[in-house]
Amino acid sequence: MRMQELKQPSSIEKTQNFLADDIKALENLMLSCFAGVSEDLIQDIASHLLIKGKGKMIRPLLCMLTSKMLGYKGDAHIKLSASIELIHLATLLHDDVIDESDMRRSLPTANVIWGNKASILSGDFFFSKAFKLMVSAGSLASLDVLADTASKMVEGEVKQMLNLQNKTFISQEDYFQVIEYKTAKLFSAACKVAALISQEEYVDTLAEFGHLYGVIYQIQDDTADYFSNSTGKLRGKDFLEGKITLPLIMLQNKVNQTEREVIEKIFENERSQQDLDKVLSLMKKYEILNALEIKVGKLANQAKNLLNNIARSTQAKNLLTDLVNWLAHH
């Protein structure tokens, strides 16, 4: 009998092991933000997000890894990483209300359990704690970056909301502008503030690296909506909500006139599972998944080339490269 090979740890697991002490400090710091809160409701929602529904915390991982790569000594990277994750969680609370979502990370959303008002107010509380942590980090430049990022994220969400209300197909240019604001900005900020506190010459390079990582992240998320069942949310959820994302834009640019009119008609009214099946059939016909993989591959190469231009040879740098490869093939 052939012995089964031991499963190798993923890039995420390797990163988590490398940053184990920092991650522990990060989690303790975030939990401490809610320790003295008198309202049990806020503590319950914080527990739901920070413990029960804890994600991979990719944004803080990028911030901490970048800090390690640049040889930063201190604890400001923990405070900034915590503030970045709290901003992210605050936007999730608000987004789930706006999108009327009922599942996230395979768990019921906070708005389903506690209601929309509680979710919105708790999201505001998360934002306030995030900004308090930014101030305590003692980097005015980092505070400026994250404050600007938070406002741009709202702009991105508003633009996406208006696109939904208009019920018109957006261009690739419009799509990338939306995801630059609503997603990529926070990834970019995570890497940029790490460079700022390290007083490095690679601030712009790492900001662009984070931006590319965020773009890939959102494309992969949008791709999974059509081609994966392992995202913890209903397959086709974005489609059923009427969101025009890159897979659909690519399809619309490839189909013939008759097929284009069919797709446009689908988005004039409420969409059904049957409509989703029609679109998935067309995506298979025009090999949209392959086109998306090519696009992601090009962006991943750009991100890795930026890292190659950084004169550092450390385990953290190698792990950042591994995280790009992991995301591109996830």
87 against 311, higher pLDDT:
87
Q: Which pLDDT score is estimated for 66?
A: 96
CATH of residue 180's domain is 1.10.600.10
For residue 108, give Cα distances in angstroms to 119, 134, 227: 12, 30, 22
DSSP secondary structure of 170-211 = PPHHHHHHHHIIIIIHHHHHHHHHHHHHTT-TTHHHHHHHHH
Q: Which pLDDT score is estimated for 229?
A: 59
| Per-chain mean pLDDT for the chain | 91
**DSSP H helical ranges for the chain:** 11-18, 20-32, 40-47, 58-69, 76-98, 110-114, 116-137, 140-166, 172-179, 185-197, 203-227, 237-241, 246-252, 257-266, 273-285, 288-308, 315-328
> Could you tell me if residue 209 is inside a domain?
yes
For residue 286, give the 3-state DSSP assignment.
Answer: coil
> Could you tell me if residue 2 is inside a domain?
no
Alpha carbon 29 to its chain centroid, in Å, reads 21
Q: Which pLDDT score is estimated for 10?
A: 87
**Residues listed for the chain:** 330
**Which residue is it, tokens 């704690």?**
129
> Could you tell me if residue 5 is inside a domain?
no
pLDDT tens-digit map of 151-210: 999 999 998 888 888 767 889 999 999 999 999 999 999 999 999 999 878 999 999 999
Q: Which pLDDT score is estimated for 163?
A: 84
Q: Is the pLDDT of residue 230 over 80?
A: no
Q: Is the pLDDT of residue 315 over 50?
A: yes
Q: How many CB atoms lie within 10 A of CB 264?
A: 13
Q: Is the pLDDT of residue 114 over 60?
A: yes
Q: Is the pLDDT of residue 3 over 50?
A: no
- Is the full-model pTM beyond 0.85? yes
Total of domains in the chain: 1
Q: Is the pLDDT of residue 7 over 70?
A: no
> Could you tell me if residue 24 is inside a domain?
yes
> What whole-number percentage of the chain has pLDDT above 90?
72
Expressed as residue numbers, the domain containing 138 is 11-328
Average pLDDT over residues 119-138: 94
Nearest by Cα to 22 from 194, 205, 143, 208? 194
The model's confidence at residue 313, banded by pLDDT at 50, 70 and 90, is: confident
> In this structure, are residues 178 and 160 in contact, taking their beta carbons and an 8 Å threshold?
yes
Q: Is the pLDDT of residue 57 over 80?
A: yes
pLDDT tens-digit map of 90-108: 999 999 898 888 888 778 8
Please enumerate in sequence order all residues whose Cβ is within 8 A of that of 11, keeping only pairs 6 or more positions apart, or say none: 319, 322, 323, 325, 326
pLDDT tens-digit map of 261-300: 999 889 888 899 999 999 999 999 999 999 999 999 999 9
pLDDT tens-digit map of 28-39: 999 999 988 888
Q: Is the pLDDT of residue 86 over 80?
A: yes
> Could you tell me if residue 3 is inside a domain?
no
> Could you tell me if residue 1 is inside a domain?
no
